[in-house]
Amino acid sequence: MTTTTHTTRIGVVGGSIAGCAAALAAAQAVPDATVVVFERSAGELRDRGAGIGIQHERFAELVAAGLLDASLPATTNTAREWYAWGGEASGLGKLIWPQPFPFNAYNWGHLHRSLRGRLPSHVEYRGDARVVSASPTESGASVTLADGTVEHFDLLLGADGYRSVVREAMFPGVVPEFAGYLCWRGLSDFAELEGLPTDSFFTVGFPHGHLVAYPIPADDGRRQFNWVLYSMVPPELTGDLRTATSIPPGAASDGLLDFMDALLTRELPPLWAAALRKTALEDVFIQPIYDFEAPAYAKHRMLLLGDAGAVARPHAGAGAVKAMQDAATLLRLWPTATDLDDLATRYDAARRPAGHAVVALARRIGEAQVLHTPDWSAFDEATFVPWLTAQMELPDGTEIGGRRL
């Protein structure tokens, strides 16, 4: 890329997975650039996403790209066990299929800390810095902060999640679409759970929903039980879910928690219901499920990374991976781009299809495994495997866990 005497200024809005990965890519690609990350949260971002599953090959690619540490704590895993009501003596229900599953499980907090820890010291990570708006300028883009300050950048990277203000500046009014269902999430101490294998992901199917659960490494070296329970929307949930939102720990009403408890009793085999009840109710959080694809990943000198550009339903297990791949792609393209506009064009061409594919795959899985569920308990391995296989891969190679970098 042609050099100028002017020090390139790169702004990053959002300091989570995509934001740290983006700042790392920018700092590596242009070592003498000024890189500033604006993160609205004041403290350490902890336990945002609970558990993250990453497919072995995708993990290795991100290590090779310089974004992930090969030593990131993980729970190693051999299978994804699929269950439904039924079975004989086991309180776990009927095991339909122990699917070979090349994924390990990670703690979201460890992942974020590792990415942030890799930022060179000259990257300025500003916490408690909320960007209220962004706008294109003749030579780049500017951001306005909550305290009224305006800062200008040659390139602005929008890594500010599903309600991105950078995206709003690029495509006003283009917002995520509610998928029609939600998930309940929580963590408990794996050591307290009896009868569960320690080296598997688990899925338990029921009408209009399913449970996904797996052990993840805790801060103290123990294992936590990370669970995500997909269900229809409780009538108790008031508020407009068409506007992207979530209900953080401690904010779910008694009525909502009663709905969840009844769901556990009605739909889950007893050991699974008991496992979820080990989570303190004040720690349960709720995330409505959205689909989103930005019309483009770049416009003017503004680029989108991570959920700001595309939100896939979590069934594809690929959102955090996609966020880091977005940054890895930026890093790969930078040295051969003729200027920042060329970089933006080539980044959009490279990443828009990848975002589109993962959103499409996750939508298909959600339709099959939540909105239009089969009779899970009627499956045996011979009928289940073709049903599942038909959902899990797109012709372009996008599969659960994401797409090759």
Q: Which residues of this protein are in contact with ligand FAD, per CB under 6 A?
A: 13-19, 38-41, 45, 48-49, 52-53, 130-131, 159-161, 165, 183, 185, 228, 287, 306-307, 314, 317-321, 323
Instruction: Write out the DSSP string of 312-328.
Output: --GGG--HHHHHHHHHH
Q: What share of the chain is helix, strand, coil (3-state, %, to 5)?
A: 35, 30, 40
Residue number, 20 or 268, with CB nearest to ligand FAD: 20
Q: Closest separation between CB of residue 55 and ligand FAD, Å?
A: 9
Q: Count the residues in the chain.
A: 405
Q: How far is the CB of 85 from ligand FAD (least distance, A)?
A: 23
Q: Which amino acid is at 306?
A: G
Using left for φ > 0, alpha for ψ between -120 and 50, and beta otherwise, residue 48 falls in alpha
C-alpha 238: how far from chain center: 25
In the complex, least distance from residue 302 CB atom to ligand FAD, rounded to whole angstroms? 14
Q: State how far the Cα of 257 lies from the Cα of 228, in Å rounded to an integer.
A: 15
Compare residues 45 and 155 and give the one whose CB is closer to ligand FAD.
Answer: 45
Which tokens in the block code for residue 6? 């002017």
- Which C-beta is closer to ligand FAD: that of 126 or that of 342? 126
Residue 96 Cβ vs ligand FAD, minimum distance, rounded to whole Å: 21
Nearer to ligand FAD, 170 or 379 (CB): 170
Q: What's the rounded Cα separation, in Å, for the pair 120 and 117?
A: 8
Question: What is the DSSP pairing of strand 51-55 with strand 9-13?
Answer: unpaired
CB of 286 to ligand FAD, least distance (A): 10
d(CA 183, CA 210): 9
**Which residue's CB is nearer to ligand FAD, number 185 or number 301?**
185
Q: How far is the CB of 255 from ligand FAD (least distance, A)?
A: 22
Give, as one character, the DSSP assignment of residue 304: E
Q: Please, which residue, 94 or 313, has the CB nearer to ligand FAD?
A: 313
Minimum distance, C-beta of residue 173 to ligand FAD, in the bound complex (Å):
17
Measured from the CB atom, the residue of 14 and 205 that comes closer to ligand FAD is 14
Which one, 114 or 287, has the nearer CB to ligand FAD?
A: 287
Q: With contact defined as beta carbons under 8 Å apart, do 22 and 305 qualify?
A: yes
Closest CA to 205 of 51, 81, 43, 369: 369
Output b/e per residue, 91-118; b: 16+ Cβ within 10 A. Answer: ebbbebbebebebbbbbbbbbbbbbbeb
DSSP state of 393: B
- Signed CA dihedral, 373, 374, 380, 385: sign only: negative
| Minimum distance, C-beta of residue 39 to ligand FAD, in the bound complex (Å) | 5
